[in-house]
Chains A and B, each alone.
Chain A
Amino acid sequence: MLTRSSEVIVIGGGVNGLAAATRLAREGARVTLLETAAQTGGAMAARGAAGDMPLAHLTPGLDPRVAKGMALETRGLRFHAPLRDTALDLGGDHRTVAGGLASGADAAAWATLHQRLMRFASVLAPFRAMAPPRLKGGGNDWGALMRHGLGLRAIGAREFRELLRMVLINAADVAEDELNDPLLQGLMAHDATQGAWLGPRSPNSLILYLNRLAMGAQMRLPVGGMGSVAKAMTEAATAAGVTIRLGARVAQIETLEGRVTGVVLDDGARLLADHVVSAISPKATFLDLIGPRGLETGLLRATRDIRARGATARLTLRLNAAPNFRGADLQSRMVIAPSVNAVEEAWNPVKYGEVPKRPVMEIVIPTATEPELAPDGGHVLSALVQCAPHDPAKPKAAKTAMLKATMRVLEDYAPGLGEMVSATHFLMPWEIEAEYGLSNWHHAELSVEQMLFNRPNHATAQYATPIAGLWLGSAGSHPGGGITGAAGWNAAGAIIRGKAV
């Protein structure tokens, strides 16, 4: 049980670590947050590796519970208006999408589909805000489960049937069944598979799109950049009494008789704690910090079996002028994914550790919205590029090929762009892992078999772990990542309820 004198250590100062630490501190626990880097924020913090850009360049908006609970608005966190999406066309005939509104001949079909999927997303969303249910046994919030379960059925028999049909369908079928415009189909295929380890024709891909819609149909840019979120959250944590230690790398989580006793830092310092919340990768938590000797073999296997392959590469270009994507709105979220097949074909090679010929990508130019972010008057182009091989045989060559392919695609869509580049920062998945500890964008692949009571695996799905006092609270736990803080907030809730396994 969490008591007023409980010593809590939170490992990892990313969005989930900050959310968990703050919530626990507000309950009266004495919380120390340990962050390896020189600043908090994790994927939200601007770091040199990504060209002084954060790894994550957008947020769907923080989980409302987190935003409210940490009073982020009163701490000055503001967002620009929700971004429109632009599905880029090679010929300049772009489509703009803002939620259910799409340009082009397919507008009506898009609106109908969007409405239906939003309906599904809205009844699934409440499950994001609670601990995954236990299939048997106690600890469930039965009231909430009943309520949310009935919510699924309350959409009517017809829609409920459609939900059951579509919940594990592939995104490509839905896009092709319900839409005709290849650009809109491509946009949907891209958004469904971004950050995941599958293609749009892979079954179970639509639910990732629904999850995205459940977080927010439109992405957002914080005023001042993603770092503003980190800053506001860090202030909130400090105000709640969290002690933040930067540059503190945990070497070992210590246990005695199956119970956590504290952590040892890599400088040898030993910190005692009643509870340790790991807001870093679940795999690293068990395999590196607890270590295999502290794990039972079944749990070791289950941990090893957590799949965490990342297929996203991170590109930052410093530009000395505004690029021209054939007239596209530079303040929008631009997506290069001209068709379902374009996304599928970008996915195919990475299965074998190869580089796609034509990667697909999401592009944001934060300086177009907020010129102050580039004091030198230039622009920053920030892109998440899919699909990059996770573990190629020749990493160096793969990186070169991937960057080359990416630049070729960019040049096709924005002729002359190459000339404007003054600096290039490009991170392949393994470099992102080395720098940020994210082997997959969500620590553990977001996929149906790693959702809910199987996220990151069955033994650790309710934030509690078989090791008493050790809790998981990163994007690797339910409901996954996306700069919302939901996983960390939920984890803190689980600790507060004290319903440890």
Chain B
Amino acid sequence: MTGLKRATQLLTTPFHARTSAANLQGRWGPWAGYRAALCFGDVDMEYTAIRNAASVYDLCPMVKYRFTGPDAEAYLDHLTVRNVAKLKPGSVHYTLWCDDEGKVLDDGTLLRHGPQEFLLSCQERHLPWMLDAATGYDVTIADVTTEIAALSLQGPTSAAVLRLAGWDVSDLRPFRMLKVDFGGAELTISRTGFTGDLGYELWTSADHALPLWDHLMAAGALHGIRPIGTDALNLARLDAGFLIANVDFIPADQALRHDRARSPFEIGLDWLIDWTKGHFNGRRALVAERAAGSEWAMVGLDIEGNVSAEGSILYLGKKKEVGYITSAAWSPSAKRSIALAQIRRPYHESADIWVEIYAQRELQYAKLMLKADQTARPFYEPARRRTTPPQAF
């Protein structure tokens, strides 16, 4: 449709000129109003790039908020469950935030750029909540989603690619970041990622997106760099045991059915909570829940066989329904059929959990009842993820 003052179709990211050229199959999906590549060519190859070489993933549709001001730290301590005072400038932490009932609104990574400047990257939009929570704080909140071009560079050769690009990240430890100049713009490199592998995320201004892409691709040409889509990333994040909002939990402010909201205890993220930092959103309810116990548990499952358990129901002793799978796949790295699952307590401690799978093969369904054993997460964790300086591949 032409002549429209305002487009109604999906937006494209600042990398679109390159991603669209690279997308051989035209496999796109909507992500937060953006056109996002599901796969550029072959999921297996892209996944292999994450675990074997270097992968580039366009993170622009992630929602990004910038917090600045003298009260930014105090404000974020009020908003989120983790202790922001402990987050030093130049550091990043994974965090989440709750409503008054202690139910999770979302999770995200918080980057501290300075004493009074933070960037939060998350899956869902929360501006009204964040603005309301800022009442009484001297903090400015800006939605900078469109201003920032963000790219995830993940894989064993990623550090080498960066070095070839001219940036020495050998001293950069996990969850730390580095600022460099790139074509006159500031480029932030954080040693973070959603793959559970060695990897970095690169943040710069939107107008430097294409040069950054080109620069990385050139630098990584001999190190197996390739763009990857959401499908491959999703496999890798499951290996790492990471959660996705609206996949593994429903953000509390979106839950239409009141019983769908989950607390940090119920999605296995209570370890993030700092109980000593004083008042924060949800604390009252979480203190009570800590004492009284929770209804659900998030567990990692190792399921017998090799059939993906996506969308399946869990049973205790093959009979009593006690939970459901939120994400599942055959992990090429772990060589196991893995899953994230919600189980009603106290059955999360049972060794007698079964998963009922309806596997469609040539139109017909095979109904399977498979044993599901609890297993530690990450399901797959290479040592290179944490080693500093990074190993040479």
Contact = CB atoms under 8 A, between A and B. Distances in A.
A393 B156 CA distance: 64
Interface in B257-292: 278-279, 281-284, 287
Nearest to A293: B136
A465 to B, nearest CB: 11
| Chain A: interface size category | 10 to 19
B287 A258 contact: yes
Interface in A258-314: 258, 291-294, 296-301, 304
Contact of B78 (A255, A257, A293): A293
B287 A298 contact: no
B181 interface: no
Interface centre among B99, B278, B283, B287 (most CB of A within 10 A): B278
Given A293-B78, A293-B137, A300 B132 contact: yes
A300 B279 CA distance: 14
B254 to A, nearest CB: 15
A466 interface: yes
Interface centre among A292, A293, A300 (most CB of B within 10 A): A293
B360 interface: no
B136 A292 contact: yes
A292 B132 CA distance: 9
B101 to A, nearest CB: 8
Contacts of B287: 258
A300 B135 contact: yes
Contacts of B133: 297, 300
B281 A296 contact: yes
B132 A466 contact: no
B136 A297 contact: no
Given A258-B279, A466-B284, A297 B129 contact: yes
B136 A291 contact: yes
Contact of B100 (A257, A292, A293, A296): A296
A470 B281 CA distance: 18
A292 B135 contact: yes
Interface string B91-110: 00000000111000000000
A492 to B, nearest CB: 24
A440 B132 CA distance: 24
A280 B100 CA distance: 24
A396 B99 CA distance: 42
Interface in A202-231: none
Interface of A is mostly: helix
Contacts, number: 41
A227 B100 CA distance: 43
B284 to A, nearest CB: 5
B78 A258 contact: no
A293 B132 CA distance: 11
B137 A297 contact: no
Interface in B11-70: none
Contacts of A294: 279
Interface centre among A257, A296, A297 (most CB of B within 10 A): A297
A292 B137 CA distance: 8
A395 to B, nearest CB: 25
A257 B287 CA distance: 10
A297 B135 CA distance: 9
Nearest to B99: A298
Interface in B122-139: 129, 132-133, 135-137
Contacts of B100: 296-299, 466
A301 B136 contact: no
Contact of B284 (A296, A297, A300): A296
A390 to B, nearest CB: 21
A304 to B, nearest CB: 8
Contacts of B79: 297
A304 B134 CA distance: 14
B136 A258 contact: no
Contact of B132 (A255, A257, A301): A301
A258 B278 CA distance: 9
Nearest to B129: A297
Interface in B152-194: none
A-B pairs with lowest CB-CB distance, top 6: A292-B136, A298-B100, A292-B135, A297-B133, A296-B100, A293-B136
20 contacts: A258-B279, A258-B284, A291-B136, A292-B135, A292-B136, A293-B74, A293-B78, A294-B279, A296-B282, A296-B283, A296-B284, A297-B100, A297-B132, A297-B281, A298-B100, A298-B281, A300-B135, A301-B132, A304-B132, A466-B100
Given A292-B136, A293-B279, 15 more contacts: A255-B279, A257-B278, A291-B136, A293-B74, A293-B136, A294-B279, A296-B99, A296-B100, A296-B282, A296-B283, A297-B132, A297-B281, A298-B281, A299-B100, A300-B133
